[in-house]
Amino acid sequence: MTASPLSRRHFEAWSTWLVAAALLGGCERGGPPAPPVEYMPVAGNPQLPFSEAVRVGHLLFLSGQLGTDSTGRLTAGGIAAETRQALENIRRVLDRHGSSLGQVVKCTAMLADIKEWGAMNEVYVTYFRGHLPARSAFGTTGLVMGARIELECWATVSDPPAR
């Protein structure tokens, strides 16, 4: 028995529809739901064009921190003093958002002069005695405010934000 052209067209249309439905259904239920995302404005200055931290599920991504004091001025004393202050600023942001230096898993150090890497590292390691996060470091052609260093980090957070 041979199929008529009409039944062949119906078969092709139905098979195309079934394949599309299967693919779309698979995409809809194919994986775990996306984790919640929460953007945290900069404390004391929510008008800045970036978040001080972004929380995605159990991860907290911090914007870069300079070695600035509470008045917003760079700490005097060069790379060591700025590194110490940047790490103290990171500690405060982490604490504010439910994490800590002990939960940092990745850091990126941007240095105005890569030759200062050793001096930066001497201070940096004193903040991570129990563990050493993954890290990248690179020299730049300049940083905001004439800073010697900008540090950013990723950390874990115990409980993700409620949906």
* Overall average pLDDT of the 108-121 stretch: 97
- pLDDT above 60 for 97: yes
Per residue, the 3-state secondary structure of the chain, as one string, reads CCCCHHHHHHHHHHHHHHHHHHHHHHHHHCCCCCCCEEEEECCCCCCCCCEEEEEECCEEEECCEECECCCCCECCCCHHHHHHHHHHHHHHHHHHCCCCHHHEEEEEEEECCHHHHHHHHHHHHHHCCCCCCEEEEEECCCCHHHCCEEEEEEEECCCCCCC
Please, what is the average pLDDT of the chain?
84
User: What local confidence, expressed as pLDDT, does residue 36 receive?
Assistant: 85
Determine the average pLDDT of the residues in 80-98: 96
CATH number of 37-156: 3.30.1330.40
Q: What is the pLDDT of residues 41-72, one digit of tens each?
A: 887 777 778 889 999 999 999 999 999 998 99
Residue 84: band (very low, low, confident or very high) from pLDDT cuts 50, 70, 90: very high
* pTM reported for the whole predicted model: 0.77
Domain boundaries, the chain: 1-31, 37-156
